[in-house]
Amino acid sequence: MPLGQRVRAVVSDLDMTLIDTKERFYNLFNELLREWMGRSVSRQVFEHYARWDRLNELIGLSDEDAVPFWKEFLSRYSKRFDAKPIPGARECLEQLRSIGVSVIVATGRISPVEAVLRELDRLGMSDLVDEVVTKAHTLDFGDGVYSKEKMVSVAVSRVGCSPNQCIVVGDYLDDIRAGKRLGAFTVGVLTGFTHRSLLEREGADAVIDSVAELPSVLFGGSSASQQRQRSL
């Protein structure tokens, strides 16, 4: 069965996947780095380390010791408002919804769902999202700061389908790892900081320039509406 005919839900990351918050990420990272370590880094240095998933080295802490840093980072993320939609993101979600595919946002932010929905509303996408799951949902269930597996599992259960009927899409390695472990089809996007080769090394089933290309992954280059007409 073609991919587009068996997919019932798309579980999408938020930041750098549906919305562009690169500036927020860099500025907040530097803010915390100054508070914790008394220093900051240039954009060029930050992007180099982020591209190769080495930000903990830049902080100067082991992965374990850096957990409190990232918890604070993820708790502050929704308190800022500098963001814009990734070009083509709304059109992508419109195509998915037009054929009955559920859209779930699974974000690593440690924040209330309402805060995420307010941001999506400001950016004109809240009407296209069926569910939102944040890291605040799953920390109490043993989901570590570096994992999205329980988040994706919760997201899938909320729309009543199995992981193999879902696509997990995101810009970071945790998105791909979570989807692979649960048996979902995984798509990496290059609108974040992560280098393509790292997404491919994690086993992403597809790596695309942006979420705007997701309908082409599902429907082989044709629009969702055209695919639906052929399958009726």
Let me know the angle formed at the C-alpha of 31 by 25 and 34, rounded to the nearest 5 degrees: 135
Q: Please compute the mean of the pLDDT values over residues 102-121 and round it to a whole number.
A: 96
Instruction: State the pLDDT at residue 220.
Output: 78
**Residue 106: CB atoms within 10 Å:** 29
Q: Is the alpha carbon torsion for 128, 152, 202, 77 positive or negative?
A: positive
pLDDT tier at 225, thresholds 50, 70, 90: very low
- 167 touches 11 (CB < 8 A): yes
Identify the residue whose tokens are 């954009």. Answer: 43
* pLDDT over 90 (residue 188): yes
Largest CA distance in the chain: 61
Instruction: State the pLDDT at residue 216.
Output: 92
Q: Is the alpha carbon torsion for 37, 43, 47, 49 positive or negative?
A: negative
pLDDT tier at 124, thresholds 50, 70, 90: very high
Using alpha carbons, select from 107, 99, 154, 162 the residue that is nearest to residue 128: 99
Instruction: State the pLDDT at residue 2.
Output: 61
Tens of pLDDT, residue by residue over 133-180, are 999 988 766 678 889 999 999 999 988 999 999 999 999 999 999 999
Tens of pLDDT, residue by residue over 73-99, are 999 999 988 899 999 999 999 999 999
Q: How far apart are CA 31 and CA 195, in angstroms?
A: 24
Instruction: State the pLDDT at residue 91.
Output: 97
* pLDDT over 90 (residue 12): yes
Q: How far apart are CA 155 and CA 107, in angstroms?
A: 11
Q: Looking at the chain, how many residues does it have? A: 232
- Give the contacts of 54 (CB within 8 A, at least 6 positions apart): none
